[in-house]
């Protein structure tokens, strides 16, 4: 079929999310997956995966050669240089690529309130707007909104939990529900998106595994670590927001984390995309995850989820 998407290349497959998407597509015999990687990258991939190496500026001639015969590209490049994203998109059009999945995967950047709260997301919005402007060229796109990366967020301490020290930073009263998705689910969702090109073309789709509060996560962590009470540090989302903007004003990009946490822990219903958008979990055939307690226990034990 003309609209089938089977040959998929991932740009930026060595980051936090890339390996999970690569694994999901690689284990599905429906797809032939390859990687677009910078020549100086230290990332490694399974030996059977074709890796197309290009200069760090992603020059058109090198990228065009890599994109020949590809049906889709998953763009996981950092949002630091939007011109590179646009250049790769232009080259994808020249190569006849059918679908681009931009580097969304997180907060709902289709919501203006989110952009206002976390201005660095304007880069993601700019890329999506650019893709919208190219819809008449035969190229389509899908933005996948996932909320936080749940298992990565726990292990990396990004969302405020220290699994080794048994310490947690709780924002406000800790009861605001947040949306999060497992890395493995995101990988599956990318595959399902590409298998359903008509259903997912030229739109944002919204998925999540959990809608839980900080206090619920903390309770599961305490169960998984023998029932002992964790040490709690209290912080307000107003403090996090103020700190984030102050850091960014000084060129300290660690402030982005503060702004993201302020938005997810203190944004309320306005930031809860599950209340305003239809879930794609069902249409994409995503399995319901195991319970929060089971997933948290596996993460604590270092088991695959």
> What are 34's strand-pairing partners?
9, 50
Phi, psi of 76 (to 5 degrees): -115, 25
- The pLDDT value recorded for residue 2 is 60
> What are 142's strand-pairing partners?
203
Identify the band that residue 267 occupies on the pLDDT scale cut at 50, 70 and 90. Answer: confident
- The pLDDT value recorded for residue 270 is 85
Region 8-21 average pLDDT: 96
- The pLDDT value recorded for residue 79 is 80
Whether 1 has a pLDDT exceeding 60, the answer reads no
Identify the band that residue 81 occupies on the pLDDT scale cut at 50, 70 and 90. Answer: confident
Identify the band that residue 268 occupies on the pLDDT scale cut at 50, 70 and 90. Answer: confident
Ranges of beta strands (E only) in 140-286 are 140-145, 148-149, 161-162, 167-171, 178-181, 203-206, 210-212, 231-235
C-alpha span between 249 and 241 (Å, rounded): 12
Question: How many helices (H) and strands (E) in the chain?
Answer: 12, 13
Tokens 């619920």 found at: 216
Whether 261 has a pLDDT exceeding 70, the answer reads yes
Region 141-149 average pLDDT: 97
- Per residue, what are the HEC states of 35-92? EEEECCCCCCCCCCCEEEEECCCCCHHHHHHHHCCCCEEEECCCCCCHHHHHHHHHHH
The DSSP result for 285-298, as a single string, is: TPPPPPPHHHHHHH
Structure tokens at 59: 């020059």
C-alpha span between 301 and 297 (Å, rounded): 6
Region 273-302 average pLDDT: 96
Region 231-255 average pLDDT: 95
26-56 pLDDT, tens digit each: 999 999 999 999 999 999 999 999 999 999 9
- The pLDDT value recorded for residue 95 is 98
Identify the band that residue 78 occupies on the pLDDT scale cut at 50, 70 and 90. Answer: confident
C-alpha span between 215 and 212 (Å, rounded): 8
C-alpha span between 209 and 73 (Å, rounded): 25
Region 58-71 average pLDDT: 97
CA distances (Å), origin 216, targets 53, 116, 155, 234, 302: 44, 28, 17, 16, 20
176-227 pLDDT, tens digit each: 999 999 999 999 999 999 999 999 999 999 999 999 999 999 999 999 999 9
- The pLDDT value recorded for residue 260 is 95
Tokens 């912080």 found at: 235
The span from the first CA to the last CA of the chain, in angstroms, equals 34
């Amino acid at each position: 079929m003309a609209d089938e998407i089977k040959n998929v290349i991932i740009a930026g497959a060595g980051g936090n999310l890339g390996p999970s998407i690569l694994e999901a597509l690689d284990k599905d015999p429906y797809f032939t997956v390859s990687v677009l990687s910078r020549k100086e990258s230290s990332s490694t991939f399974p030996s059977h995966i074709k890796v197309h190496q290009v200069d760090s500026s992603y020059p058109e001639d090198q990228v065009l050669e890599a994109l020949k015969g590809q049906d889709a590209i998953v763009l996981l490049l950092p949002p630091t240089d939007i011109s590179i994203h646009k250049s790769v998109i232009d080259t994808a059009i020249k190569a006849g690529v059918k679908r681009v999945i931009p580097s969304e995967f997180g907060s709902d950047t289709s919501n203006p309130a989110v952009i206002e709260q976390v201005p660095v997301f304007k880069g993601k919005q700019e890329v999506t707007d650019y893709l919208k402007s190219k819809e008449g060229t035969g190229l389509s796109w899908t933005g996948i909104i996932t909320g936080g990366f749940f298992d990565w967020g726990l292990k990396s301490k990004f969302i405020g939990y220290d699994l080794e020290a048994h310490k947690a930073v709780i924002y406000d009263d800790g009861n605001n529900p947040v949306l999060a998705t497992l890395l493995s689910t995101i990988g599956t969702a990318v595959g399902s998106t590409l298998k359903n090109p008509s259903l997912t073309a030229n739109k944002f789709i919204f998925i999540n595994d959990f809608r839980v509060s900080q206090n619920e996560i903390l309770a599961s962590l305490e169960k998984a670590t023998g029932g002992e009470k964790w040490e709690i540090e209290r912080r307000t989302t107003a403090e996090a927001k103020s700190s984030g903007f102050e850091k960014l004003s000084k060129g300290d990009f660690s402030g982005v984390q503060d702004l993201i946490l302020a938005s997810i822990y203190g944004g309320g219903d306005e930031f809860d995309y599950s209340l305003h958008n239809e879930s794609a979990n069902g249409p994409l055939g995503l399995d319901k995850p195991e319970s929060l307690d089971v997933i948290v226990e596996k993460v604590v034990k270092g088991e695959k989820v």
